[in-house]
């Protein structure tokens, strides 16, 4: 039987101890204990006092001290991280998210700020799910996915799909065309749900098509009736073959009617010089008809400019005034995307309570001008139209 050397036993025990220490879970301190190196001594004392108040659970005092420190050191990501943790401990999630986002913008690769931001977002998602505000919860989950790496990102994607299923169940209970179209705009690539919503929209739209076509049929029938009205006075005894297509002038009627008038006068009253009173009515009948036709034609020509007058202001009218949209987020700036989709690229951020021009709206999105000559899309949920 071989004897194991004592040296080998000691080496194995040492390696086992190292492995057990490395596998034990480590608690990461969410605070920054030390201030930046370049700050003055007074600022270092202020940093230490704020941290001490925070560890003593005096959050209101700590928040005031951190704000004083950041007023003198606006680019200190450590100060923003500790301020965010103070707001988080004081159940002020919106203020905490704003502080963490600012700190991460100053130091994008800092792991401590990123983890604190993800923890706060998770807590916000939990509250929103309890209140059944699934749309807002999905927005925060998408932000968590942007901050995560691939193993965790896949889990977040499954959570988003679960919430999309719950939203689609609400849409199916309402069963309206507007809700289905709004779902497609917000979640165009939702697995199974988007395809089913498109099929339902396609089945709903043909039922509403005949209602839209009825006014156009009435409009196509009405113009021939209006054109036939000026030709009502064609009740003369003249044969249809002798009536030309153009309008008959007063002189041509007189040339044809005057020989008939002379024959009537000579045959019926050869001895009487003045004609009887009924005869002029017969003779002037065609003239009066022609005059009435002429008056109608002149009235028609006079009515046309009057009918066209209301249309002139439409041509001269200026373009519609640009509407404006006000950002209604509490503290965090509203993200601007390149397309009306939550998966589109973020191109800018608009501060809260800012008012920007709005050009068009699509579903739950507004197209706004966030910089001169640059346009993007923002969510209607965190903005509203203003006069």
State the CATH number of the domain containing residue 78: 1.25.40.10
What is the rounded distance in angstroms from the CA atom of residue 254 to the CA atom of residue 150? 99
Residue 16 falls within a domain, yes or no? no
Q: Give the bridge partners for 371, in sequence order.
A: 374
Residue 96 falls within a domain, yes or no? yes
Residue 158 falls within a domain, yes or no? yes
- pLDDT per position as a tens digit, 301-337: 444 444 444 444 444 344 455 789 999 988 888 889 9
What is the rounded distance in angstroms from the CA atom of residue 84 to the CA atom of residue 9? 50
More confident residue, 293 or 19: 293
Nearest to 45 by CA among 72, 81, 16, 84: 72
Q: With bands split at pLDDT 50, 70 and 90, how would you rate the model's confidence at 263?
A: very low
pLDDT higher than threshold 90 for residue 156: yes
Q: Which two tokens stand for residue 147?
A: 């901050």
Residue 167 falls within a domain, yes or no? yes
Residue 266 falls within a domain, yes or no? no
State the CATH number of the domain containing residue 340: 2.30.30.40
pLDDT higher than threshold 50 for residue 15: yes
Nearest to 63 by CA among 77, 82, 48, 78: 82
Residue 57 falls within a domain, yes or no? yes
Percentage of the chain with pLDDT > 70?
A: 63
Q: Are residues 46 and 184 in the same domain?
A: yes
The CA distances from residue 349 to 70, 102, 352, 370, 379, in Å, are 22, 12, 9, 8, 12
What is the rounded distance in angstroms from the CA atom of residue 188 to the CA atom of residue 182? 10
The rounded mean pLDDT for the chain is 75
DSSP 354: -
**Mean pLDDT confidence for 216-222:** 45
Q: Which of 162, 196, 230 is the last residue of a domain?
A: 196
Would you state the pLDDT for residue 5?
Answer: 60
Query: Taking the complete model, does pTM exceed 0.85, yes or no?
Result: no
- pLDDT per position as a tens digit, 114-137: 999 999 999 999 999 999 999 999
Q: With bands split at pLDDT 50, 70 and 90, how would you rate the model's confidence at 256?
A: very low
- In the three-class reduction of DSSP (H, G, I as helix; E, B as strand; rest coil), residue 103 is classed as helix
Nearest to 59 by CA among 83, 42, 77: 83
More confident residue, 128 or 284: 128
Would you state the pLDDT for residue 70?
Answer: 95
Q: Distance of alpha carbon 183 from its chain centroid, rounded?
A: 13
What is the rounded distance in angstroms from the CA atom of residue 173 to the CA atom of residue 194? 16
Are 350 and 370 in contact by the 8 Å Cβ rule? The answer is: yes
- pLDDT per position as a tens digit, 79-116: 999 999 999 999 999 999 999 999 999 999 999 999 99
The boundaries of the domain holding residue 368 are: 323-386
The CA distances from residue 207 to 195, 212, 330, in Å, are 20, 10, 43
pLDDT higher than threshold 70 for residue 290: no
Q: Which of 196, 223, 257 is the last residue of a domain?
A: 196
Residue 185 falls within a domain, yes or no? yes
Would you state the pLDDT for residue 266?
Answer: 44
Residue 156 falls within a domain, yes or no? yes
Which of 17-31, 123-137, 192-206, 369-383 is the least confident region? 17-31
- In the three-class reduction of DSSP (H, G, I as helix; E, B as strand; rest coil), residue 361 is classed as strand
The number of distinct structural domains making up the chain is: 2
Number of helices (H) and strands (E), helices first, in the chain?
14, 7
DSSP 317: P
Q: Which of 196, 219, 249 is the last residue of a domain?
A: 196
């Amino acid at each position: 039987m071989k004897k194991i050397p004592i040296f080998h036993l000691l080496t194995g025990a040492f390696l086992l101890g190292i492995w057990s220490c490395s596998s034990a879970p480590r608690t990461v301190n969410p605070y920054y204990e030390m201030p930046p190196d370049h700050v003055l001594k007074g600022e270092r004392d202020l940093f230490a006092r704020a941290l001490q108040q925070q560890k003593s659970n005096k959050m209101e005092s700590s928040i005031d001290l951190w704000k004083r420190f950041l007023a003198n050191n606006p680019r200190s990501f450590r100060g923003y991280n500790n301020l965010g943790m103070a707001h988080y401990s004081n159940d002020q999630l919106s203020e905490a998210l704003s502080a963490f986002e600012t700190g991460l913008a100053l130091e994008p690769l800092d792991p401590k700020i990123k983890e604190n931001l993800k923890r706060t977002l998770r807590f916000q998602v939990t509250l929103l799910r309890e209140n059944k505000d699934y749309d807002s919860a999905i927005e925060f989950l998408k932000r968590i996915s942007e901050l995560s790496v691939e193993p965790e990102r896949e889990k977040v994607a499954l959570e988003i799909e679960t919430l999309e299923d719950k939203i689609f169940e609400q849409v199916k209970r309402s069963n309206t065309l507007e809700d289905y179209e709004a779902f497609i705009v917000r979640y165009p690539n939702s697995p199974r749900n988007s395809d089913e919503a498109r099929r339902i929209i396609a089945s709903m739209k043909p039922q509403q098509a005949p209602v839209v076509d009825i006014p156009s049929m009435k409009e196509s029938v009405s113009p021939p009736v209006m054109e036939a009205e000026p030709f009502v006075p064609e009740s003369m005894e003249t044969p249809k073959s002798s009536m030309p297509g153009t309008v008959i002038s007063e002189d041509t009627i007189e040339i044809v009617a005057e020989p008939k008038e002379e024959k009537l006068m000579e045959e019926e009253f050869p001895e009487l010089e003045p004609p009887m009173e009924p005869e002029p009515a017969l003779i002037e009948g065609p003239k009066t008809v022609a005059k009435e036709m002429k008056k109608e034609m002149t009235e028609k020509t006079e009515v046309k400019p009057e009918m066209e007058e209301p249309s002139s202001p439409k041509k001269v009218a200026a373009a519609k005034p640009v509407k404006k949209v006000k950002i209604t987020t509490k503290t965090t700036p509203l993200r601007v995307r390149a397309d009306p989709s939550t998966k589109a690229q973020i191109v800018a951020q608009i501060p809260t309570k800012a008012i920007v021009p709005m050009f068009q709206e699509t579903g739950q999105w507004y197209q706004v001008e966030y910089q001169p000559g640059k346009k993007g899309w923002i969510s209607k949920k965190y903005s509203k139209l203003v006069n």
